[in-house]
Amino acid sequence: EMQVLESGGGLVQPGESLRLSCGASGFTFSSYAMSWVRQAPGKALEWVSGIIYSGGNTYHADSVKGRFTVSRDNSKNTLYLQMNSLRAEDTAAYYCARHSGAYYKYYVMDVWGQGTTVTVSS
Amino acid sequence: DIEMTQSPSSLSASVGDRVTIACRASQGIGNYLAWYQQKPGRVPNLLIYAASTLQSGVPSRFSGGGSGTDFTLTIDSLQPEDVATYYCQKYNSAPLTFGGGTKVEIK
């Protein structure tokens, strides 16, 4: 069964850092693009970051550009999101999702994790 | 960036009703449009991709249509288990923007 599982969420203070991880199983991780999608409480889904199959190309939403960095380790079947300079507005459930192909554009997100919650508060 | 606008933002319908949700892109996106269903307290689930292709395992009462800038998601006979928020998303280019969501309830 294809699965992705997020970890690393928690409560942090504004300005602090956090690294989320997403472990994949049941498919050839290195063949697929991956993304992070977040959802603030009671709000809509927001695409945060995407990374192609090789890790050679990434994209970050304007709301996180310069603060968040997506990366992957294909030898460990793991996706990461390094989040620096966290703000209250980054409080959300963060989902890891697999795209149905090698690139984050042209391919939909067809496998989603259960999410990990990040709370930024003093 | 291309904006995705859904309407209505919420609706209430009876079991067995036909329900249609609209999604409009501010620029043409071809057929690179997906629909996701998110039931209360649950993870988003892919329903439709390429504007009209049903994801495996999705009931046939769901259908999608449109291309370019205007798209629709139709539920042919609304069931109690369809209570959820539905999101459209474009995926032709980054950023992969979601619509604001449509909350579907049973009357």
Average pLDDT, chain A: 98
What per-residue confidence (pLDDT) applies to A68? 98
Q: Report d(CA B47, CA B37) in Å as an integer.
A: 6
For the stretch B4-60, pLDDT in tens is: 999 999 999 999 999 999 999 999 999 999 999 999 999 999 999 999 999 999 999
Q: What is the 3-state secondary structure (H, E, C) of chain A?
A: CCEEEEECCEEECCCCCEEEEEEEECCCHHHCCEEEEEECCCCCEEEEEEECCCCCCEEECCCCCCCEEEEEECCCCEEEEEECCCCHHHCEEEEEEEECCCCCCCCCEEEECCCEEEEECC
Q: Mean pLDDT throughout B76-100?
A: 97
Minimum-distance CB partner of A44 among B46, B87, B96: B87
Residue B31 DSSP label: T
**Omega within 30 of 0 (cis) for the link into B40:** no
- Alpha-carbon gap: A106 to the closest alpha carbon of chain B (Å): 5
- Which residues on adjacent β-strands are paired with residue B49? B53
- Which residues on adjacent β-strands are paired with residue B19? B75
Task: Say if the Cβ atoms of A109 and B34 lie within 8 Å.
Answer: yes
For residue B45, which residues of chain A lie inside 8 Å, CB to CB? 112
For the stretch A53-102, pLDDT in tens is: 999 999 999 999 999 999 999 999 999 999 999 999 999 999 999 999 99
